[in-house]
Each structure stands twice: as structure tokens, then as C-alpha cells.
Structure 1
Amino acid sequence: MTGATTATGAGGGGVRRGAALMASGTAVSRVLGLLRGMVLVAAIGATGQAADAFAVANKLPNVLYMVLAGGLLNAVLVPQVVRAYRRGAGQEYVDRLLTLGFVVLAGLTVLLTLAAPLLVTLYADDAAGPRRALAVAFATWCVPQLFFYGVYALLGQVLNARGSFGPYMWAPVVNNVVAIAGFGVFIAVFGGAGGDGAGAGGGLQDASTWSSSTVAVLAAAATLGVVAQAAVLVPSLRRAGVRYRPRLDLRGSGLGRAGTVVGWTFAGLVVGQLAYVVVSRVAWDAPAAAGTVQGVAGNAAYDYGFLVFMLPHSLVTVSLATALFTRLAAQAHDEDLPAVRGTLSLGLRVVGLFTVLAAAVVLVLAVPVTRLVLVTGAAADVPAVAGVVTAMVVGLPAFGAWSMAQRVYYAYEDARGLLPVQVAMAVVVAGGALLGRAVLPPSSWVAGAGVAMSVSYVLGALVALVRLRGRLRRLDGRRVLRTHVQAVVAALVAAGLGLAVLRGLEALLADTVGARLLECVVVGTVMGLVYLGGLRLMHVAELEVLLGPAARVLRRLLARGRRR
């Protein structure tokens, strides 16, 4: 099979190295992201008026970035840059693309910052009141992050297309460090959610107690982190051989084809975000409908649940998919169907091995993991966020498969073909969130939306892969299915044993943060070893791709120890 990549073949070496480099940066970033979340909980809590207001406002630039920059660049930039460098016009093309991107991002950022009140109204269903006013104040500081997120994505995707994967994945580490420091300053100056803070006895969880100075310090800390994340990529461009010069002469640049792909990609992303608008408004209304702001999952609880959900996805799925994407773009350009099938099969199998285990571990440890993330928050918030985590993480394996299928569509620059799938997924998310609101108690509305998300990922993965089968003539379906079945069998055994160990530890240990940490370490280790042992017994060859980099690092460390 020409160009196909086996789990242990030569083609897997470069992918393993690229994925390992990205995964290491992502791992550090995600650990710091959890620490950032803990510090933010200490500052404003995990539920309540201020937490939900900041969650909506700080989510706005992320959502806008996903619509206007992130997804478009995934769909357009890497395939276009790979093609441009192959025809010898890569640098001029990159110069024009970056210049156009910077100009468009700057204009949109100014426009959307001025429209911050309208954006908050879209995502938060409050006509007036201190909570909405606080969200607007936060948004005025946070929406400018859009420009710097866009710069980060533009520069990072150019680096990826040049085969330089590390800087893009390590840059968020700087973001988290800056934000953690800023949130720490906020707590030192104004106090945190648990104290009197800025208000007379009400604490910082009450929206009416916030002043312009408290808003500025907290929101500026978040925004400065994004600025730093973009800035640290600039030196990496030169090391990758990219010498950027602003170019505004776009005639004959070849960007017309890219514009067509952007249009369809933009449509798909807007459809997805319309579904998120429904989820955001349902989450915004939940605390008021429940009659209490504490211990009821709202927008902030959704964000913390999504943070835990994305941790395993980012460690392996994003890293591997990004490393494979450049290869897929080149294979699609060469019209090498067997190679594309092989790369897709490899990605689905390796991602599946990890996401099935990750889903099982998080499901068993949902409460202890949430307790650690909310270590500085109120105990009553833990069940609310843990329920959201559980609802989301059941869809993690399907989310991994959906992400890999997306990369194939983007490699062929076929954003139009993805649109029907994205519409169906958005209908499931929005419809599921509204159904949950109608039949569930308000305390479970956000968890209901999480279940709808999981169902949408299953639907998206299945439909996208069936449609890809027509394009690629066939898929390596039997092999992919066999690997997933083996993974599920091993994960079920590991989950059963892990749950038994967890119950034993809960009976022996006191209800402390240290005990929860010990539970996560012991149960996670036991489940991981049982899972790997089961896969070894079933002779699952894809373990080499998943564990190869870690095994090589361990061997080098052992060799150094022997030499000493």
C-alpha cells in the first residue's frame, strides 16, 4: 500500500517525534492551566455571579477566535503553505497571508471590542442587572485578546507547515505563567472569593461589589497572558527559516482559492457557535432558575468541566493530529489515496487507544479530580462541576475520532463537505441543551448540555467517516474497529478494578485534598497498568506509536544512571 503508515513502520518515527515534542509542551501547559484554574477559583469562585460573568466575557475572545481564526487557519493555512513551498513561492505567499491576516484581525478586534455589550447580550440572557454589567466590563478588557490569539494561530500554523511543531505547543505555557502571576497579584491586593474582598461582607462573588480597578486587574492579567503567548513565537519564525516582510500586493497571489475554503469553513464554525450560544444562555439561566448562585452549575462550571475534558484530548489527540496534518496535506496534494487512508487509520487507532483509557480514568475519578481543580473553591461546587465533567468525558473517544476526520477534510480543503455534518452536530447540541432545560432540574441543565455534546461527537465521527469512505474509496475500518474494541475491553477491566481501589481508599482516608490527590495517583496508576497489560496480552501493535517516545526517554535516563 503506497505511502501507508503502519504502527511501527518508518513513517511513524517522524510522527512520534513531532507528537512527543508537542505533547510535552501541551502537558506542561495543561498542568499550568489547571493551576491557573485553581488560582482563578481562589479569586472569584467556581459558581456565582462574578465567576459566571468572567466566564462569559473571557470566553468571548476564545469563541471569536475559533470562528474567525482558529478553524479557518486549520482548514486553510497548512495545506496552502505546504503547496506554496512545494512550488517555490512559499515565502511570498506566507508574507501576503500573514499581512492580510494581521490587518483583518486588527480591524475585527476594534469592531468587536466596541460591540462588547451586544456580544454579552448574545451569550448571556440578562436585560440588565449587576451581573450583566460586570460581564460587559470584563469583555471590554478581554475581547482584544482576539487579535493576539489570531497572531498566535497564524504564526503557529506557519511554523507547523515548516515542520517546527514545538513552539506552537509550548507558547501557552507562557500564557498560563503570566495569568497565574496576575491572578495572584489580584488575590494579594483585593482578597479572594472566600474573604470580604471588594465588598462589605459580600465578597468578590457578588457582582455588585466589583469596581473598575478590580475588573481591570483581573481581566488585564488574562489578556497579558495571551499577548505573551503570541510574542514568544516571533523568534521561532527566524529559526524556522521564515523571514517575514509585509506585502499588500495580493493580485495573483493565489489567495482566491483559500478565500473559497475560508467561506465554507466560516459557515461551519458559525453553525457550531450558534449551538454554543444556546448552551451558554441555558447555563447563564440555571443559577437563577434554581434560586441560588452557589453549588449550581453555570457558565463557569461549564468552563471548568471543559478544562478537565480537554486535558487528555490536548495531550495526545491534538498533538498527534497536528503532527499528522502536514503529512495529510502533502498526501492529499499528491492524490495518494492509500497514503491518506494509512495516515487516517494510524491516527484513529492511536488516538482511540489513549482516549478510551482517558475517558475511563476520568469517569472513575470525576469527583477527586474535580476536587483538586477546585481545591481553593467551596465544597458545594464540586458535585456541580463533577457532573459536568462526567457528562462531557463519555464523548471523549468520539471527539478524538471526529478531530481526526476533520483533519482529512481540511487536508483536501473540503470545508463544504464538512458543513452538513457540522449542522447536524449543532442541532443535537442545541436541541439537547433545550431538552435538558425542559425536563431536568436547573442544577442539571449544564450536565444535560454536556451529554448533548457527547452525543454530537458520536454522530459527527460516524457521519464524517462514512462520507470519507466515499472519497477514499474505502477505510481501514476493520482494523480501526478491532483496535477500539480491544481498548474498550481493557478499559472496562481497568475501570472495574480502579473503582474498587477508589472505594477502598475512600473508606481508609479522610476527606482532605491530600487524600484526593493520593486517590488520583494510585487509582490512575493502577488503571493505566491494568489497561496496558491488557493491550499487551491482546498484542495491540499501536502501543509502540503511543508509548515509543516515553520508552526512549526512559531508556536514556536509565543509561545515564548506569554511566554515573
Structure 2
Amino acid sequence: MEPNRRVDPVTKVGEIGIKEEHVTGRVYRSAHSDDPGPIAPPARGSGAGPAGPAGAPAPGVGGAGAVGGAGVDSPAAVPPEPDGGGTATNSAVMALGGLVSRGTGFVRTVAIVAALGVGAVGDAYGTAQFFPSMIYELLLGGILTSVLVPVLVRRRKDDQDGGEAYTHRLLTLAVLALGVVTLLAVIAAPLLTALLAGERPADYQRLVTLLSYLMLPMMFFTGLSALLGAVLNTRGHFAAPMWAPILNNLVVIAMAGAFVVIFGSGPTIGEMGAGPILLLGGGTLLGVAGSAAGLWPALRKVGFRWRWRGGFRELDLPELGRLGAWMFCYVAVSQVGVVVLLRLLNSVDNAGDKAGVASYNVVYLLLMMAHGIIAVSIITALMPRMSAAAHDGRFGAVAADLSRGARMSAAVLAPVAVVYLVLAQPLVITLFQYGAVRADDAERMAAVLVVAALALVPFAVSQLFTFGFYALPDTRTPALVNIPVVAVRVLVQLGLFWALSSSLTAVGIMIGNAVSYVLAAGLSAWLLRRRVGPIGLRRVAVTFGKVTAAAAGAGLSGWLATMALPWSDAPTWWQAVLKLTVGGVAIAVGYLGLSRALRIREIDEVVNLVRAKLGR
């Protein structure tokens, strides 16, 4: 099949900005937590990921953080303004901002879990936090980064006024639309609760609805932040959009601390009166609003003064609709998977040994943390190269980078997966067993993390291949691939839900995610081969084999090291820390030694690639 050599200049820019949330489907909100994202749900492979309760893409329940803003890290983007800094400086600022954002996002999650626990109140908070993310991603999230940013860049280049009038009109229309949709969503809060939490008791549904009244307006400020960030990106200013989510994280961390001081940790639903609800919902909303407000000084710095402006016909809305149609399809299908996932998790009432939304979110955070720090760095480094090669018709170079990225992702993520698999219990105890989280809660989360370990590499590879289509550029194929991927995920999750005990609901859902990631990676690889030619699957398979052998040896080393320790299966916190340290060192040393012996060169390539990305 002859590769399609036509490249639409409108979609050439901003390809990196597709949020992880759009391609994953989790329940935990990533844009403001681990990254975690803009880039996240979140929302945040070809729709093969899970979505989280805090706003996410398809399979999981959470979000993952941004890949680097709105596609500003691409050579196709508008050259930086004088105050924007050079490419190396921008990359360094974005990398540092991303790490700090992920770090504070992780602390944010630990604080929330410590305050609320992973029982009914934690589930209610996670479910309510998901609503604004789901609606935002469906209506604007994916379309913004795949369509609006490239159009803003083009207008800035082509219009006589540098795209000022177009930008004012677009912001005016978007703010009005966000306001109307937010109002309707708040009115419909009880219906949303019935959709996603209809299996839970009436007092639980009441708590979700009351929290939703306060937290649904988050979608307005999330959309505003994304729009203002896009304006800054197209003017060569990258720091503020990367650092603003950190303010959100700090506000929520302070809110969680205040909750513990005032009301104590681990409340029951019966203890959630007006005061605790106002603090939780209002504090979370204040964080997102503060993140949006933090962008205004940067807008003034680049000389942008937003003025309300009508004349929406000048926006060429049919063009925007045409460009965003496939991304909307992609996100819409992913959200179906998220609804099913949340419905299943909310069928667990957390009585006894059952894990629900909150437990799943914690594990999904660990999955997305590893992916965001390692795999996203590889994707953002390769995207400009692949986009430039596709634009020039050098499809062999695109195929080579896809092969390289898959091999590097597997080589670097494998030891992380081994840690998750072998040291799940001490890891969860060390990171999350505080405040309201008890030892049995940690045990349930550890069981889910073991399965998540098997999903990590397939998820990263599926994400890479999805971005390979965006580099061509092609949003249609990922949207179509997402349909069978989400369908298989849902079918597996439903089947395991009926086949397994309720205590294993979260485990079964994560298994469904893992299966869908593998399917997404396989379908995407086959279709990419038809577009760009052979992508070196034989070499990828050889590297995967070596990585598997090294990972197995490292896992055995870590297991033997921890077994030598004289503690029971229920270690204390300090014992878990020591167990994690000893096992982690054994795994790292074993993996590095075996990778050298097996000549897995991709590890060195990753280090060199990241150093080059940072301009060093």
C-alpha cells in the first residue's frame, strides 16, 4: 500500500500536546497531579489506557500529566518570542516543571489518601472529581491540543494582525460555551451520580452529588487554563503553563492537611457534614481556579490583553469541527470505557476486603508516574523528528524512530515493572500507609499493582504508536483503532467482574486494561507498517526477549534479597522501607548487570536522547 504523503499543514503543529488523558482513560486526574497533565485523565496508547476518577481517558480512572504543553516542543511550532528563550532553555524549563508537577502531584495524592482513606468517602471524592474531567475531555480536551493550537499557530503566522482578533473571538466563544456547559453539568449532577454510582447506597450517592456541585465548576477553569496556556504556547512562552498546575497541587495539599487538622482522618459518610464537604469540594475547586489565575501575569508579559469580541463566523467553525471530529470520536469512545470502569468500581461498597475507586486510583497513579517520567520523555523527544520526517516524506525514518522508541521504552520501563511486581506490598506500604490507610487497604492496592506491572510496557508502546499516527498527521486511524480496543477492554472487564469475587474487582479491571493495551499496540503496529513500511518488529522482538530475560533475572534477585529478611508478610512501615530498599537495589543491580551481559544498548540510547532533549 502506498503511504499517504499528503500532510495537512494545519495539523502539523502541536502534535506533542495530545494529552495522555485522551489516550488512556483513567479515573485519577493527571493534569494537576502527576503531571498529572497539561498534557493529564487525563484521558489521559490507542485508547488503551485506563481512566481515573479524577478525570481521565479510557481505561483507567485517573490522569497522567502533560506531555509538554500544547505541542509547543515541536520544531513545527511558532519560533519563540524574544522572551521565550531558546529551544534548549524551553526544553529544560518544561522538563523541570514537569518533574516538579509530578512530584507535587504525587504528594497531593498521598495527602488526599491519608486524609480520606480508600473507603467510601475516598471513593465518593474520586467519583465526584471525575465528572468535570470527563465532560471537559469530551467537549474540549482532545480537540484543543490537536486542533485549536495548530490553528492558532497558523493564524498567528498568516493573519495581518498576528492572529489577535481570531484569538480574542476564539477565547470569547470558548468561555461562553464552557460557562453554559458547566451550568448545565451542575444542574445535572444528580443524573451523573446515578449514572456512575447508582449501585451504591443513598447516603453515598448524596455525598457524591454534594461534592459534584462544588467540583463540577472545575471544568470551566480547566478549560480556561488550557486555552490561556495555548495562547502562551503560540507566543513562545512555555514556563507558566508547565508550572501553573503546581499551584493547584499545593492548594489541594494544604486543603488535605487542613481537613486532617480540623476533622481528623478517615471520616465515615455519616461524618461528612456541610463543613467537611465545603472544605473538600471548595478546596479542590480553588486549586484549579488558582492554576488558571496564575497564567494571567504571563499573558501580560507577552503583551496579550484579552478583550471580549463577537463575530464568531470569522472563526470558520466548520473547519474546526472537521479537524476535531476524529479526535472527538476518539475521546467519546474512551469515555464509554471510563463510564463502565467507574460503574464497576462503584459497585464495590468497600465493606470488608473490597477495593473500589480510591484504591484503583492510587495504583493507576503509580502506573502513570512511571509512564509520564520515562515513556513521555521518549515520546516528546521523538515526536519532532517523526513529524519532520513525515512532512518530508521520509517514512523510513519515521519507522526507524517508532522501532527505536518501542525498544527504548521496554528497556527502561522493564525494571520499574519488576519493582511493581516483586515489591508491590512494601512499595504501597511505604508510599501510602499513612493516616486513614490501614494495612489491609495496602494489601488490596498491592494486588492491583501486581497486575499494573504487567500493563506498564504495553501501555507505553501503545501510546508511542498512537503518537506515531499523530506525527503523520493522522487522527482518524487512532480513533478507529480505539473502538475495538475499548470494546475488548469493556468485555474483558465485564467478564472478569462476573467471574471473580467482588474483592478482585479492581484487579479484574486492571487485567482488562492490560489486555487492551496489548491489542492497541498490535493493531497500531500493523496499521503503521502499512503506512510507513516495516518498523523493525523483528529487532523489537529480539530486544523485548533480552529485556524479558534481564527483567526475570532481576526479579529473582530482588525476591531472594527480600526473602532473606526476617520479617513476616505484614511488615511495619520501617520494615517495608528497608525491604523496598534492599529489594530495589538488588533489582537495579541485577538488571543493569544482565542488560550489559545481554548487550541491551537501548538503555544508553535513552540517556543520550534525554540529554539531547534537554540541550545538554
Task: Return the TM-score normalized by structure 2.
Answer: 0.77
Amino acid at match of 1:276: V
Contact 2:402 2:465 (C-alpha < 8 Å) held by counterparts: yes
Contact 2:200 2:347 (C-alpha < 8 Å) held by counterparts: no
1:493–1:344 Cα change, 3 Å: same
Match of 1:145 in 2: 218
| 2:98 corresponds to 1:26 | yes
1:351–1:254 Cα change, 3 Å: farther
Contact 2:200 2:346 (C-alpha < 8 Å) held by counterparts: no
Match of 2:65 in 1: none
RMSD of the alignment, in Å?
3.2
Name the stretch that deviates more: 449-458 or 126-135.
126-135
Secondary structure (helix, strand or coil) at the match of 1:286 reads: coil
1:243–1:406 Cα change, 3 Å: farther
Match of 1:8 in 2: none
1:334 deviates by: 4.7
Cα distance in 2 for residues equivalent to 1:453 and 1:214:
34
1:313 deviates by: 1.0
Cα distance in 1 for residues equivalent to 2:319 and 2:258:
48
Match of 1:271 in 2: 333
Cα distance in 2 for residues equivalent to 1:392 and 1:498:
18
| 2:526 corresponds to 1:455 | no
Cα distance in 2 for residues equivalent to 1:484 and 1:246:
54
Match of 1:440 in 2: 500
1:410–1:250 Cα change, 3 Å: farther
Match of 1:219 in 2: 281
Match of 2:363 in 1: 305
1:359 deviates by: 1.5
Contact 1:82 1:330 (C-alpha < 8 Å) held by counterparts: no
Cα distance in 1 for residues equivalent to 2:110 and 2:568:
26
The answer to which structure has the higher helix fraction is: 1
Match of 1:57 in 2: 128
Amino acid at match of 1:221: G
Name the stretch that deviates more: 371-380 or 413-422.
413-422
Secondary structure (helix, strand or coil) at the match of 1:25 reads: helix
Alignment of 1:522-561 (within 5 A): 522-548=582-608
Contact 1:374 1:382 (C-alpha < 8 Å) held by counterparts: yes
Question: Which consecutive unaligned segments of at least 5 residues does structure 2 have?
Answer: 1-74, 76-85
Alignment of 1:117-516 (within 5 A): 117-126=190-199, 129-157=202-230, 166-193=239-266, 204-205=267-268, 207-237=269-299, 247-251=309-313, 253=315, 256-287=318-349, 293-325=351-383, 328-376=386-434, 377-505=437-565, 507=567, 511-516=571-576
Match of 2:48 in 1: none
Match of 2:49 in 1: none
1:312 deviates by: 0.3
1:139 deviates by: 0.8
Cα distance in 2 for residues equivalent to 1:233 and 1:263:
29
Cα distance in 1 for residues equivalent to 2:88 and 2:599:
20
Contact 1:109 1:144 (C-alpha < 8 Å) held by counterparts: yes
1:519 deviates by: 2.7
Contact 1:79 1:413 (C-alpha < 8 Å) held by counterparts: no
Amino acid at match of 2:336: L
Amino acid at match of 2:409: V
Amino acid at match of 2:270: S
1:401–1:493 Cα change, 3 Å: same
Percent identical pairs in the alignment equals 33
Amino acid at match of 1:222: T
Amino acid at match of 1:58: Q
1:16 deviates by: 9.1
1:421 deviates by: 1.4
1:324 deviates by: 4.2
Amino acid at match of 1:43: A
Match of 2:141 in 1: 70
Name the stretch that deviates more: 122-131 or 392-401.
122-131
Residue deviations 1:486-526 (CA, integer Å, cap 9, x gap): 33232222212112222223649982212222333332233
Cα distance in 1 for residues equivalent to 2:148 and 2:183:
24
1:534–1:167 Cα change, 3 Å: farther
Task: Return the TM-score normalized by structure 1.
Answer: 0.83
Name the stretch that deviates more: 253-262 or 51-60.
253-262
Cα distance in 1 for residues equivalent to 2:168 and 2:210:
36
Amino acid at match of 1:259: G
Amino acid at match of 1:386: A
1:95 deviates by: 4.7
Contact 1:16 1:549 (C-alpha < 8 Å) held by counterparts: no
1:528 deviates by: 2.6
| 2:193 corresponds to 1:116 | no
Amino acid at match of 2:182: T
Cα distance in 2 for residues equivalent to 1:169 and 1:506:
45
